[in-house]
Amino acid sequence: MKLHNFNSGPSILPQPVLEAASRAILDFNGTGLSILEIGHRTAWFQEILNEAISSVKTLMQLGDDHEVLFLHGGATTQFMQVPMNLLDENAMAAYCDNGIWGNKAHKEAALFGKVQVVSDTSDRKHSYIQKDFAIPSDASYLHITTNNTVEGTQWHQFPQTAVPLVADMSSDIFCRPMDFNKFALIYAGAQKNMGAAGVNMTVIRKDVLGKVSRKIPAIMDYSKHIAAGSLMNTPPVFAVYVSMLTLRWILNEGGLPEMEKRNRAKADLFYNTLDSLQEVYQPVVAKEDRSWMNAIFFLQKPSLEESFLNLCKQEGMIGVKGYRTVGGVRISMYNALPLESVQTFCDLMRHFASKNG
Ligand code: PMP
């Protein structure tokens, strides 16, 4: 049976990426060595890293002010690394708390300096993005989570602010073109639209560095990583390789305009179906803030949830159960998910509704 992979992360990767990665495990580019066996200071790995960095720069249309790093750990490491490098002890950073991940990010930041939560959408279970909040001009930066993986919301317009804008883009990186140059710092765990788990990409505008007085451990210091070209110590070679392959795939497919076209088509198909079946399914996210990547909904009759999820399982739909603390249903529609999978899921929703309406 064909499986439809709606996992929220690690999640579906493009088939050509999986094929190239599996070939490289046995023999990397005809070298007779596995990608798992090559040294990180070889010309081979340097080429991989160079291609990954230049692909990111091309996709994001970054100028020379920005540096691209591939660092250890997931986005959670960045929750601490960002304030360690950007927030002085007596200074203040502004954070938007639009869900589980933004909440974790500001709690980590509070270990390093003062934090002001300038937008908190918990009053409506984070089902919307607040747009009209004030940003103090003395904030060292404003932190947002561009896509709330668990709550199913996404920023479709970004706040206008004079303070440096920092974004966790873990779950919607490269889903569409945007003005990446307006961000002072962007980070993203790789395991959704970018590659294999174990590495994160961080893009930094250099002028925000060197402004804190604390001593930063070398492995946490962005400036030292920039100086070492992401090779301060052994990087997660295979995860960087898979990210490079995925970036190459995005470029070959037509870049971010093409990703946007596909993602918009999938999101339109899904949300139109959801809206047309409201006697059985309950949409919860404000229409203008709906995520193209992670769509959540509930069954109008909670007692039907289990049988809906069982039917999904029977039909080969993987990863459709809502986040453990939220419940309901969530489907993730990352770049590599074909429209056909969303179509199959919508057909199942319609079928289930006709039996249970
Ligand atoms: N931020 C966002 C938006 C996420 O979706 C996730 C993971 N799903 C994280 C942070 C945490 O990432 P990691 O598990 O890679 O640390």
Both tokens assigned to 90 = 């007596």
Q: Look at residues 345, 320, 172, 176 and name the one whose alpha carbon lies nearest to residue 262.
A: 176
* Domains of the chain from N-terminus onward: 15-253 (3.40.640.10), 255-356 (3.90.1150.10)
- Residue nearest atom 14 of ligand 1, based on CA coordinates: 74
pTM of structure? 0.98
Ligand 1 centroid to residue 353 C-alpha, Å = 33
What is the torsion angle, in degrees rounded to the nearest 10, for the CA atoms of residue 230, residue 22, residue 320 and residue 331?
60
Residue numbers belonging to the annotated binding site: 8, 41, 75-76, 101, 149, 168, 191, 233-234
Residue numbers belonging to the annotated binding site for L-glutamate: 8, 41
Report the first-to-last Cα separation within the chain, whole angstroms: 28
Q: Give pLDDT tens digits for 174-229.
A: 999 999 999 999 999 999 999 999 999 999 999 999 999 999 999 999 999 999 99
Q: Give pLDDT tens digits for 281-334.
A: 999 999 999 999 999 999 999 999 999 999 999 999 999 999 999 999 999 999
Check: complex ipTM more than 0.90: yes
* Cα-to-chain-centroid distance, residue 221: 22
Which residues are known to be catalytic? 101, 168, 192
Distance CA 242, CA 163 (A): 34
